[in-house]
Amino acid sequence: MAVGIFDSGLGGLTVLDAVSKRLPDVPFVYYADSAHAPYGVRDADDVFSLTNAAVRHLWDAGCDLVILACNTASAAALRRMQEGGLPQGKRVLGVFVPLIEALTERQWGDNSPPREVSVKHVALFATPATVASRAFQRELAFRAIGVDVEAQACGGVVDAIEEGDEILAEALVRSHVDALKRKMLEPEAAILGCTHYPLMEETFQQALGPDVKVFSQADLVAESLADYLERHPGMLGKGGQSLFLTTGDARRVSDRATQFLRRKITFQSV
């Protein structure tokens, strides 16, 4: 009955933490492709190839449903995987769908014409690859009109977080927010378009100011997954225990994960 959660590194642990609290009886298999992180500086074909390999590993581990807890993978690989055809009984979901739903105030399956929404000026903070894909802008435009999105590629932030350098990560976040504000003086909302970024949410909020609503993904994904599993209970796979898998150095990744979640996490190498 396990559900797979995939990320290029450790940022998806923010999603894992939220979904584990929301669904305490569901085992999760977390797969970190640490050997190839970060994905945010790779081209779309490379991201697709790496994501596809990771997802197949999770299917082999007994996970019929896999969550791409990586915005770069969701933006660059998800649609291509779905259009290419998935094996019978397997599903792959991305993490920015619940975020788009919250921002546009409509369900993903609502294909009615786009309409005006309350938020008009949105700042998007994401990896260079996610920004280049324009996936957020495309999905927003399909569902809402009159929304101005200003994207800021946040180079270096994921690397600093993965290395555990909080001081550097905070400095980079403030620098990227300043750069965004030079392009959009008064954003009404901000999207943290990388699952690493909730670890720096307080810094983003302080730099943006109290009047900017910050949309983070973890809790939104948790609620969306709970609703999905209630509607599709058969998608719980055959795997019966929680596992943490990594393509990187298991000891090093375990130490970083334990630091992130403030509880003991032990990864196995694959």
Catalytic residue annotation: 70, 194
What's the per-residue H, E or C state across the chain? CCEEEEECCCCCHHHHHHHHHHCCCCCEEEEECHHHCCHHHCCHHHHHHHHHHHHHHHHHCCCCEEEECCHHHHHHHHHHHHHHCCCCCCEEEECHHHHHHHHHCCCCCCCCCCEECCCCEEEEEECHHHHHHCHHHHHHHHHEECCEEEEEECCCHHHHHHCCCHHHHHHHHHHHHHHHHHHCCCCCEEEEECCCHHHHHHHHHHHHCCCCEEECCHHHHHHHHHHHHHHCHHHCCCCCCCEEEECCCHHHHHHHHHHHHCCCCCCEEC
Which tokens sit at 220? 């939104």
The separation between CA 267 and the C-alpha centre of its own chain, rounded to angstroms, equals: 20
Cα gap 258→22, rounded to integer Å: 20
State the residue for tokens 């350098």: 165
The separation between CA 194 and the C-alpha centre of its own chain, rounded to angstroms, equals: 5
